[in-house]
């Protein structure tokens, strides 16, 4: 089946959703979009997308539906309108980062409609969404995943089936633990380097290729060193949400996550100071001004 023969629906036109939709349009997929704030659909409508008035209308017009929403509550609210409108054989791809247990319940409800719910959260940020270089970690039916792999590979460079429903979300929790804790340590490192007389603007380049290197280091260290916080590429509130989810999951599984728990407390302190909607590069402000 060619791209022009598969009708796609997309709910959630935010920092990630907008560039993801643009890639799907560029690949030739007929695309219908929906967003709680309909005005955000305007740019995509100008580029050839159709705008649905409700999640139910989105479901009725699409073979494959992709969700990219803020949190578990947002996905559940959209699913309440979307699921009753599903028909046999439709596939929902949830690229949001939500609770694994909530995912399993949504997948069970979709199955009653004859549909498949795949949890396929992504990593790579806005730049990865723009470049089609996201990393995708999937949970759910392997056969359904194989059907939509051509769609997903327009968005990412790597797609891995991690196991049954909820496995993709659990993997994303692990991913975000690494990202968020890394971001917190990078803020400490940049602050310490500057207070020690080091040109922290050179840190990322100096450490490239060593054991300390990482994508967060390459992105965040220069921003933190120069106090460059705009444009916002991701949000403090997103990392905090994911750290909280990690702590809850660890409690459910009887596993210990003390470093992620501490990172969550520090992140919450920063968010509560009016920084929830700012870029995580602002974490450097926890350690004083330059």
> Which residue, of 132, 149, 164, is where some domain finishes?
164
Q: Say yes or no to pLDDT of 281 above 80.
A: yes
CA dist., res. 101 & res. 106, Å (int): 9
CA dist., res. 237 & res. 268, Å (int): 8
Q: Are residues 88 and 103 in the same domain?
A: yes
**Tokens at residue 119, please?**
């949890």
Would the pTM count as exceeding 0.85? yes
Q: Are residues 56 and 152 in the same domain?
A: yes
Tell me, what's the pLDDT at 117?
Answer: 98
Catalytic residue among 112, 172, 233, 289: 172
Q: Are residues 254 and 159 in the same domain?
A: no
| CA 100, chain centre distance (Å) | 14
Tell me, what's the pLDDT at 290?
Answer: 54
Give the CA distances from residue 175 to residues 12, 180, 268, in Å, rounded to whole numbers and listed in that order: 22, 9, 19
Q: Are residues 124 and 259 in the same domain?
A: no
Count CA within 13 A, CB hemisphere, residue 154: 17
Report percent pLDDT > 70 for the chain: 98
Give the CA distances from residue 257 to residues 71, 181, 264, in Å, rounded to whole numbers and listed in that order: 21, 11, 11
Q: Are residues 236 and 150 in the same domain?
A: no
16-68 confidence digits (pLDDT tens): 999 999 999 999 999 999 999 999 999 999 999 999 999 999 999 999 999 99
**Tokens at residue 166, please?**
């909820």
CA dist., res. 231 & res. 40, Å (int): 18
- Dump the DSSP string for 45-72: HHTT-EE-SSHHHHHHT-SEEEE--SSH
CA dist., res. 70 & res. 133, Å (int): 21
Q: Are residues 174 and 113 in the same domain?
A: no
136-188 confidence digits (pLDDT tens): 999 999 999 999 999 999 999 999 999 999 999 999 999 999 999 999 999 99
Return mean pLDDT, the chain.
96
Q: Say yes or no to pLDDT of 95 above 70.
A: yes
CA dist., res. 140 & res. 130, Å (int): 26
Kindly indicate the confidence band of residue 5, based on its pLDDT and cuts at 50, 70 and 90: confident
Kindly indicate the confidence band of residue 284, based on its pLDDT and cuts at 50, 70 and 90: very high
225-242 confidence digits (pLDDT tens): 999 999 998 899 999 999
Q: Are residues 201 and 101 in the same domain?
A: no
Backbone angles phi, psi at 29, to 5 degrees: -80, 135
Kindly indicate the confidence band of residue 288, based on its pLDDT and cuts at 50, 70 and 90: confident
Give the CA distances from residue 88 to residues 85, 114, 133, 271, in Å, rounded to whole numbers and listed in that order: 10, 4, 31, 43
Q: Are residues 148 and 97 in the same domain?
A: yes
- The single residue listed with the structure tokens 């996550």 is 257
> Which residue, of 114, 136, 164, is where some domain finishes?
164
84, 85, 81: which is closest to 61 by C-alpha?
85
Verify whether residue 112 is a known catalytic residue: no
Q: Are residues 156 and 195 in the same domain?
A: no
Q: Which domain holds residue 208?
A: 170-287
Tell me, what's the pLDDT at 2?
Answer: 62
CA dist., res. 100 & res. 221, Å (int): 32
Tell me, what's the pLDDT at 289?
Answer: 62
Tell me, what's the pLDDT at 36?
Answer: 96
CA dist., res. 174 & res. 181, Å (int): 11
- The single residue listed with the structure tokens 């247990």 is 101
> Which residue, of 95, 129, 164, is where some domain finishes?
164
Kindly indicate the confidence band of residue 78, based on its pLDDT and cuts at 50, 70 and 90: very high
């Amino acid at each position: 089946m060619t791209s022009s023969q598969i009708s796609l629906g997309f709910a959630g036109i935010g920092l990630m959703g907008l560039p993801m939709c643009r890639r799907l349009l560029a690949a030739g997929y007929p695309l219908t979009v929906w967003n709680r704030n309909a005005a955000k659909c305007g740019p995509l409508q100008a580029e050839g997308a159709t705008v649905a008035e409700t999640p139910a209308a989105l479901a009725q017009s699409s073979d494959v539906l992709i969700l990219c929403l803020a949190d578990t509550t947002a996905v559940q609210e959209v699913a309440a309108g979307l699921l009753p409108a599903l028909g046999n054989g439709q596939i929902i791809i949830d690229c949001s980062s939500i609770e694994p247990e909530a995912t399993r319940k949504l997948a069970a409800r979709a199955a009653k409609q004859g549909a498949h719910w795949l949890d396929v959260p992504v990593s790579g940020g806005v730049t990865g969404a723009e470049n089609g270089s996201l990393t995708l970690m999937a949970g759910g039916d392997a056969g359904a995943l194989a059907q939509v792999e051509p769609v997903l590979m327009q968005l990412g460079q790597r797609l891995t089936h991690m196991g049954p429903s909820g496995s993709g979300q659990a993997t994303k929790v692990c991913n975000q633990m690494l990202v968020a804790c890394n971001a917190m340590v990078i803020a400490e490192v940049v602050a310490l380097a500057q207070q020690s007389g080091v040109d922290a603007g050179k840190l990322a380049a100096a450490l490239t290729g060593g054991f300390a290197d990482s994508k967060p280091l390459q992105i965040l260290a220069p921003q933190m060193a120069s106090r460059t916080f705009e444009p916002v590429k991701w949000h403090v509130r997103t990392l905090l949400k994911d750290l909280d989810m990690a702590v809850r999951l660890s409690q459910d599984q009887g596993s210990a996550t003390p470093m992620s728990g501490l990172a969550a407390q520090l992140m919450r302190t920063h968010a509560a100071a009016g920084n929830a909607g700012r870029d995580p590069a602002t974490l450097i402000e926890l350690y004083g001004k330059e």
